[in-house]
Structure 1
Amino acid sequence: MPWEDKAILFSILLVYSSSQVLASGEIQEDGQCAELNNTRWQEYRQQRVRVEVQYLLLTRRNPDCAQKFDQDSVGKPTSHFNTSRPTKVIIHGFSALGRKPSWVTDLAQALLGAQDANVVVVDWIYGASFAYNLVVENYKEVALQISVLVNQLQQKHGCRLESFHLIGVSLGAHVAGFVGTLFEGKIGRITGLDPAGPMFKGADTSDRLDPTDALFVDAIHTDSDHFGISIPVGHVDFFLNGGMDQTGCARSRFASMYGYVICDHMRALHVYMSALNGTCQLTGIPCASYEDFLKGSCVDCEVFKGRCPAIGLQEKSGIATSPVPQQQKIFLLTTSSAPFCAHHILLTLEVSPLDKSAEVEVTLTTWSQGTEHHFRLKTEATVYRTVLAHPVALCQIDSIRLRNTGARLYRQGDIHVKSVCVSELPLRSHEAPLCVNDIDIRRGVPWSHDFVQVCGTS
């Protein structure tokens, strides 16, 4: 959409919404906490032509009891909004059953734990429920209404556009993107948590989240084969476990397909909250593809001057380069449960030439925790590499075990391993890999080696 058309639409809505959108923003005088809405199918059928938006405010002064909010609330004695602090805007996405999102308070509190900010929650459940194709028709109107609020906070109360950070979940990411489009990319930051894919993958960049929507745009992808988008939409795009099929999400025939997909889709949100809680750092490695990443073809962050991007609130995700490259794919592996952090271990196996194909099982052990990988060895190759997710750092690996697991009749019985090495990504020039050399592995006779290590303080 040309900016002239956007400006006209924005001006019309500015007049319209001063009475419509913000009418719900009375500050509670009775001390009651504001709540997100639910809607039912009957209500939806009656009101689906109307998009209602309300705003809730949470701060460190009221982290458990939201206030209804609008631009007229600012400056009132009962309002906790502080114009000198940054403002986080949470935007939910599609709700299949019309239920209010249960995760909003957890995300708001994680944000407040990480930074002293105003957290504004956008509640548009009436326009976000039941029929996905109709919800997609509503998202730009919601974005326009949010833009009115942001514009009034900027014009009347001195809030700077760069102090706004919009965090959109699923379809909410594209709502945030259109808000950024209306402000010509001058919003400080937009974070997309598994931005919605259906009806957006082939859309024009003006109709979906893209790097021009804010000064910095980051996105986390966890379900790019179903509900999430598979293409990069930000300056940096974190693809967790390749962006699909998250560890810990049930895939058995007894689990519902919907539950399995939703688990993948919502993993971006849960990983983001874990990163905000600061238990451990979730960093990734830039690479052209997930396959190249797993093969150990990408081992450092030199494209970012050695600083690997991290999920969370660090400025520009911790990237030091300027200007920030656009649409950089960042890959990382996670564990199956919170806090989801894993150490990326590069495992390299070199064997002498083989007469037959073979299989070797490699296990890295720390205390009672083990990480296992099976190499399929071929006669035409001698060097094999893979990247593994291990729960602790390289210096805490206690032992390594190799086992020839090939079938007796048609696999090689004896394998000579020239070397097996483990190192931690990103590779650093001053850190040598752990290697064991000259090993003979016979079928049915496991081989193991204990490491004696002390972790450094740096």
Structure 2
Amino acid sequence: MPGQHTTILLCVLTVCITSLVLGVEERQSGDDECADLSNTTWRQYRQQRVRLQLQYLLLTRKNLECAQTFHQDSLSDSQQQQPPLQSSYFDVSRPTKVIVHGYRVMGSKPSWVKELARSLLRAQDVNVLVVDWVYGASFAYNLVVENYKEVALQISVLINQLKKQGCELESFHFIGVSLGAHVAGFVGTLFEGKIGRITALDPAGPMFKDADIFDRLDPSDAQFVDAIHTDSDYFGISIPVGHVDFFLNGGSDQTGCARSRFNSMYGYVICDHMRALHVYMSALNGSCPLIGIPCSNYEDFMNGHCSNCDVFRGKCPTIGLSENSGIAISPLPKEQKLFLLTSSSAPFCAHHILLQLEVSPLDKSAELEVTLRTDNLGKEQRIRLQTDTTQYTTVLANPVSLCEIQSIQMKNTGNWFYRQRDVHVKSVCLSGFPSLRREEPLCVNNFNVRRGSLWSHEFVQVCF
């Protein structure tokens, strides 16, 4: 893992590329009254750096395509006898989602904010408040980190004014992206953890991993805190910060993100970090469930040692808007790590398949290429076989469920000069987890996988 200074420099490069790739979101043509997020330049920043220049944008189902500037002045004590927020679309009877963006190295507005707001509004009839702190979030990362508590303090003033208008602290759900997650966490600290919920989308790691819990997001900051980790080895934080923490594909390298800087600069520096946001928006659309499995670490999860949610009385936590992520037990867990595998593109859902393999003792090491097939889809997994063990388990992210797998294929691969000539498989079994239907495993026993020949077995089954 890179050192902290290297990580910060990479963070600067990351958001530079993000700004270039994502560009600037344009104002809707022909509608000058619609509010938009801010941009700033290095020159403006240097001239007025003492001011954070926060503003708030409001989106509801009544103004889904045209954001309204939300002024704190409209919430003054003198208006308490008047109808609440009479000039605004804000409805005190509805819950409020508060979106807080993160670091913006080039001073450009984040292009994803309104898409997230619309996804939230399609899922629930709520107020969506966007915290625009682009000015204070831009350019020098270390100075931005110095600003984040002041941003949280100003947000807390707004929340207090909304309380006077009739809003309950429990009705606020903060969604913080990267550094925005720690801003939300400090707002929660100021309200002694009485905020309803904080969702952290790959909370920032540089300058926060070793910080005191007073200075970073932690489970005490809200009644429920959930986090999604997708870039814990670079720009995200590697430790759990919520009641439940979803580590996608182990929390670092994400499927579909380029591993080489020459393939795609965007994929190399920002794809992993932004995956948490895209997965969350996909979950809001509700096309398929994204379920986390409790486990102490990723290695144990991938080795099949964790395949149920008994600690939650059988109901697995899900990413999205379900109350407490679907957890019904009391008291709530704290810093519970949850693991899941995802696909490389939206809707990102994948079925977890546990592959258990037993072979006869080998004279030489070998390698088996196992492929699960459905129609034209195929999921491959290479398993290295050693001379000192005969049993192997691994977890696959499969595009279809267990009952839809039509066949299993095996190839005896590897370098010719060291490869075992034939591999005798005592048994290979496939089972899906977590499974509400308690599907029976698919097993094949006693066969040879010969060098240079493809072994295949067809399954006859029907999904119910």
TM-score by length of 2: 0.90
Within a 5 Å distance, the mapping from 1:109-124 to structure 2 comes to: 109-124=118-133
Within a 5 Å distance, the mapping from 1:30-429 to structure 2 comes to: 32-73=33-74, 75-154=84-163, 156-255=164-263, 259-426=267-434
CA contact (8 A) 2:57 2:129 kept: yes
SS of the residue aligned with 2:160? helix
CA contact (8 A) 1:404 1:443 kept: yes
Deviates more, 1:207-216 or 1:71-80: 71-80
Paired residue total: 426
SS of the residue aligned with 2:283? helix
CA contact (8 A) 1:70 1:149 kept: no
Q: Which whole-Å CA distance do the structure 2 matches of 1:254 and 1:447 have between them?
A: 37
SS of the residue aligned with 1:306? coil
Shift of 1:404: 0.8
Q: Which whole-Å CA distance do the structure 1 matches of 2:442 and 2:289 have between them?
A: 23
One-letter amino acid of the counterpart of residue 369, structure 1 = L
One-letter amino acid of the counterpart of residue 309, structure 2 = C
Shift of 1:320: 1.5
CA contact (8 A) 2:201 2:227 kept: yes
CA contact (8 A) 1:163 1:188 kept: yes
Shift of 1:432: 1.7
Q: Which whole-Å CA distance do the structure 2 matches of 1:47 and 1:72 have between them?
A: 22
Q: Which whole-Å CA distance do the structure 1 matches of 2:462 and 2:326 have between them?
A: 28
Shift of 1:77: 4.0
CA contact (8 A) 2:261 2:268 kept: no
CA contact (8 A) 1:232 1:327 kept: yes
Q: Which whole-Å CA distance do the structure 1 matches of 2:87 and 2:454 have between them?
A: 70
Shift of 1:31: 7.2
Q: Which whole-Å CA distance do the structure 2 matches of 1:69 and 1:181 have between them?
A: 24
Deviations 1:189-244 (A, max 9, x none): 00000000000000000000000000000000011111100000000000111111
One-letter amino acid of the counterpart of residue 430, structure 2 = V
Q: Which whole-Å CA distance do the structure 1 matches of 2:272 and 2:127 have between them?
A: 29
Q: Which whole-Å CA distance do the structure 2 matches of 1:358 and 1:263 have between them?
A: 35
Structure 1: 5+ residue runs without aligned partners?
Answer: 1-29
One-letter amino acid of the counterpart of residue 136, structure 1 = V
Q: Which whole-Å CA distance do the structure 1 matches of 2:47 and 2:286 have between them?
A: 45
Q: Which whole-Å CA distance do the structure 2 matches of 1:66 and 1:45 have between them?
A: 29
Within a 5 Å distance, the mapping from 1:423-438 to structure 2 comes to: 423-426=431-434, 430-438=438-446
SS of the residue aligned with 2:180? helix
Shift of 1:181: 0.3
CA contact (8 A) 2:355 2:431 kept: yes
Q: Which whole-Å CA distance do the structure 2 matches of 1:32 and 1:216 have between them?
A: 36
SS of the residue aligned with 2:135? helix
CA contact (8 A) 2:59 2:68 kept: yes
One-letter amino acid of the counterpart of residue 283, structure 2 = A
Within a 5 Å distance, the mapping from 1:20-39 to structure 2 comes to: 32-39=33-40
Match of 1:26 in 2: none
Q: Which whole-Å CA distance do the structure 2 matches of 1:164 and 1:191 have between them?
A: 11
CA contact (8 A) 1:406 1:443 kept: no
SS of the residue aligned with 1:380? coil
Q: Which whole-Å CA distance do the structure 1 matches of 2:72 and 2:45 have between them?
A: 28
Deviates more, 1:247-256 or 1:447-456: 247-256
One-letter amino acid of the counterpart of residue 415, structure 1 = V
Shift of 1:313: 0.2
TM-score by length of 1: 0.91
Q: Which whole-Å CA distance do the structure 2 matches of 1:277 and 1:125 have between them?
A: 27
Cα gap change, 1:307 to 1:146, in 2 (>3 Å): same
Deviates more, 1:437-446 or 1:102-111: 437-446
SS of the residue aligned with 1:121? strand
Deviations 1:86-107 (A, max 9, x none): 0000000000110000000000
One-letter amino acid of the counterpart of residue 380, structure 2 = E
One-letter amino acid of the counterpart of residue 262, structure 2 = F
CA contact (8 A) 1:406 1:413 kept: no
Shift of 1:406: 3.3
Q: Which whole-Å CA distance do the structure 2 matches of 1:409 and 1:125 have between them?
A: 60
